[in-house]
Amino acid sequence: MVEAGTSSGAGAGAGAGAVAGARASESEGRSDGGAEVVAAGKVTVVLGAQWGDEGKGKVSDFLAQYADIVCRCQGGNNAGHTVVVNGSEYDFHLLPSGIISPECKSVIGNGVVVHLPGMFEELQKNEAKGLKDWEGRLIISDKAHLVFDFHQQVDGLQEAEKGLKSIGTTKKGIGPTYASKANRIGLRIADLLGDFGQFTEKFQTLVKHYQRMCPSLVVDIDSELSRYAIFADKIRPLVQETVCMLNTALSEGSKVLVEGANAAMLDIDFGTYPYVTSSNCSIGGVCTGLGIPPQSIGDIVGVFKAYTTRVGDGPFPTELFDETGQLLQSRGREIGVTTKRVRRCGWLDLAVVKYTAMVNGYTRLCVTKLDILDVFDEIKIGVGYKLHGRKLPHFPSSMAELAAVEVIYETMPGWKENIENIRDYDKLPANAKTYIERIQKYLNIPVKWIGVGQGRESIINIG
């Protein structure tokens, strides 16, 4: 580790435009800054700027109060977003977090892969916690691909084959489903709702394909087909052609929010390959996963923690293996929502965030969990990497190189004060503001919000 110095510091469809206008009126006078970000006739995007678990669900839930439609564009139920509203904690894996907002439609786009048993189980669990009236607000694209139980079995079998070289997949079948899609043998929602005889033939072909790959795979085809005949009736009222629907809504002035899943450093092209997910969870995935043109995109909000975490294997330059890392883990309650694995913790790595900002073009930032740093005398920030004594000009593509880098750190003074109940930026301790200002200066992107607690209300709007 290299020390660089010490900083000193003290409604879609007809009438959508009218709906958008009504929502805008409701938000007038609020000081949390969401209304100015979620613009009419534009797509606002929330993306994770690290390795996931940054608090995208909370930010999406907060912004959904101003949106007419909230969308998922990629991934599946391998995501894990936690939202706390009025003391109730909701866990979302496939569903957009915006489904909590009663006047907001939620869209599962064409780029998402859908495990129907998991989706209905997720709805049931969140209904028990207070989710209401989702039937008229949840919309599923007819182009979305289906995740079957055997995809999940294959996921586990493939991970087991890799042994010590496994990548730490969630075993939710996401990778095998995207592989089926790329091989052009996958099944979509539209197939399920069409001629069931044709669906049966395609299903049998798909199973046989994976049984050739994994001879130990056992699938009760008749039982699965009977189950999916029931699912077809259950989801039929929820399914639409969403590409036309979304573009029509935008043309009529609706406010559309996109909730990215996973995170930029898990993107299959730009992440720490092969320790990545199977979809593009950067800005390009928004266009391909929903069928919207780039010019429709307005603000792009990059969300990251005031420190860095990741789940699963792969290089992690600022990872802490000492008591400091354990303290971050315990204070931050760093346990994966989906995997239930303890998250690895380290100091904030701004080299990572700068790289993902270059790829995604963030227009605003949200720094979450700043309150977790309340107890530290000193706080370090990673501002670059050295390899073999030379500063690297770009983020490494080789995982061997990333594992071997020395982190260039800046050390800043802590504030040693509880900030959990602060809602005004000017009332933050001087050293906490210095920390945020250093982030802004390094990235040259404004920090719009700071998270200082679990609840929807625990957000500081900088203005």
Residue after which a domain boundary falls, among 212, 236, 260: 236
Q: How far is 191 from 148, CA to CA, in rounded Å? A: 14
- Count of Cβ atoms closer than 10 Å to residue 243 Cβ: 16
Residues 289 and 405 both lie in one domain? no
Residues 232 and 243 both lie in one domain? no
| AA identity, residue 46 | V
| AA identity, residue 207 | V
Q: How far is 187 from 433, CA to CA, in rounded Å? A: 51
CATH code of residue 104: 3.40.440.10
The predicted structure's pLDDT at residue 165: 58
| Cβ partners under 8 Å of residue 185, min gap 6 | 202, 205, 206, 209
CATH code of residue 154: 1.10.300.10
Q: How far is 385 from 383, CA to CA, in rounded Å? A: 7
| AA identity, residue 364 | R
The predicted structure's pLDDT at residue 163: 62
Residues 311 and 411 both lie in one domain? yes
Residues 282 and 350 both lie in one domain? no
- Domain of residue 160 covers 145-236
Active-site residue identified among 53, 61, 191, 267: 53
Residues 212 and 341 both lie in one domain? no
Is residue 272 a part of any domain in this protein?
Answer: yes
Q: Indicate the burial class of 406 (C-beta count within 10 angstroms; 0-12, 13-18, 19 or more).
A: middle
Residues 366 and 451 both lie in one domain? yes
pTM across the whole model: 0.89
Q: What is the DSSP letter of 57?
A: H
CA angle 143, 145, 146 (to 5 degrees): 135
Is residue 282 a part of any domain in this protein?
Answer: yes
Phi, psi angles (nearest 5°) of residue 332:
-85, 0
Is residue 2 a part of any domain in this protein?
Answer: no
**CA 280 to each of CA 84, 261, 289: distance values in angstroms, whole numbers, following the listed order:** 27, 10, 9
Rg (CA), the chain: 22
Residue after which a domain boundary falls, among 200, 221, 236: 236
What is the three-state SS of 187-210? CEHHHHHCCHHHHHHHHHHHHHHH
Known active-site residue 209: no
Strand, coil or helix: 110:
coil
For the residues of 305-350, what is the DSSP string, one character each?
ESSEEE-SSS--TTB--SHHHHHHHHHTT-B-TTT-PBPEEESEEH
CA angle 87, 262, 368 (to 5 degrees): 50
pLDDT tens-digit map of 421-445: 999 999 999 999 999 999 999 999 9
The predicted structure's pLDDT at residue 162: 67
CATH code of residue 327: 3.90.170.10
CA angle 51, 170, 358 (to 5 degrees): 20
Is residue 3 a part of any domain in this protein?
Answer: no
Is residue 308 a part of any domain in this protein?
Answer: yes
Is residue 1 a part of any domain in this protein?
Answer: no
The predicted structure's pLDDT at residue 335: 85
Residues 425 and 338 both lie in one domain? yes
Question: Whole-number mean pLDDT of the chain?
Answer: 89
Helix 116-129 vs helix 221-235: angle between axes, to the nearest 10 degrees? 50
The predicted structure's pLDDT at residue 92: 86
Known active-site residue 81: yes
* CA nearest neighbour of 379 among 328, 317, 339, 330: 328
Q: What total of structural domains would you count in the chain?
A: 3
What is the three-state SS of 219-241? CCHHHHHHHHHHHHHHHHHHEEC
Residues 44 and 102 both lie in one domain? yes
What is the number of residues in the chain? 463
Residue after which a domain boundary falls, among 252, 269, 301: 301
Residues 271 and 396 both lie in one domain? no
Is residue 80 a part of any domain in this protein?
Answer: yes
Is residue 4 a part of any domain in this protein?
Answer: no
Residues 435 and 319 both lie in one domain? yes
The predicted structure's pLDDT at residue 302: 98
For the residues of 59-109, what is the DSSP string, one character each?
HHHHHHTT-SEEEE-SB-TT--EEEEETTEEEEESSS-GGGGSTT-EEEE-
Residues 97 and 201 both lie in one domain? no
Residues 262 and 169 both lie in one domain? no
Task: Quote the tokens at residue 462.
Answer: 């900088």
Residue numbers of the chain with a pLDDT score lower than 50? 2-31
Beta-bridge mates of residue 81: 92
Active-site residue identified among 32, 61, 68, 81: 81
